[in-house]
Amino acid sequence: MEQGKKTGICVGKGAETTMFVLGKALLAADEGKQVMVIRFMKGRRLKDSVFLKRLEPEIRFFRFEKSGEEFGELSPEHQKEEIQNIKNGLHYARKVLRTGECDLLILDGVLELLDRGIITEEEMLSILEEKTGEMAVVLTGARLYDCVGRLADEVCRIGADF
């Protein structure tokens, strides 16, 4: 996101959006800012990365899902459990937005929760309305939703399909 932008959305397919926002996180940390990344719908990719752990405390990573499998491959019973874990992650995001405990909050993959019907557009807006102060927020996912797009200062589309 450009200097002065407070809410950004990055949409695209695959890992490209994650790589883009991780670059933004590194730039922000290099400027002395505190960054938090909450990852949704990502399986265990990068979960135990020794490299990512070395970025702490400037960039802190969180993942609330417990399963290492992709959400769509889980049984309905395990999906139900993971939905509760995901909602715990959203509650944590809401707390971070309300308290302003970082300079940049990245909700990586959060738009996929709308794709899968795990949360509604109203719930997403309710979470984003918690934002206080000067904190910048970036959302990622495969698809741009009008409800959040209207809140964005900047929208980035990554990939050849756009």
- What CATH number does residue 96 fall under? 3.40.50.300
Q: Give pairs for 72-81: CB < 8 Å, separation 24+.
A: none
Q: What percent of the chain has pLDDT over 70?
A: 91
**Residue 50 forms part of a structural domain:** yes
- Tell me: pLDDT of 2 over 50: no
Q: What tens digit of pLDDT does each residue of 69-79 get?
A: 788 788 889 99
- Which domain covers residue 152, as residue numbers? 7-158
Compute the average pLDDT of residues 49-78. 84
Q: Which comes out higher in pLDDT, residue 111 or 66?
A: 111
Q: Is the peptide bond before 76 cis (omega within 30 degrees of 0)?
A: no
First to last CA, the chain: 19
Predicted confidence band at 27 (pLDDT cuts at 50, 70, 90)? very high
**Structural domain count of the chain:** 1
Q: Indicate whether 46 pLDDT > 70.
A: no
| Assigned domain for 129 exists | yes
Give me the chain's average pLDDT, please. 87
What would the mean pLDDT of 30-39 be, rounded to a whole number?
96
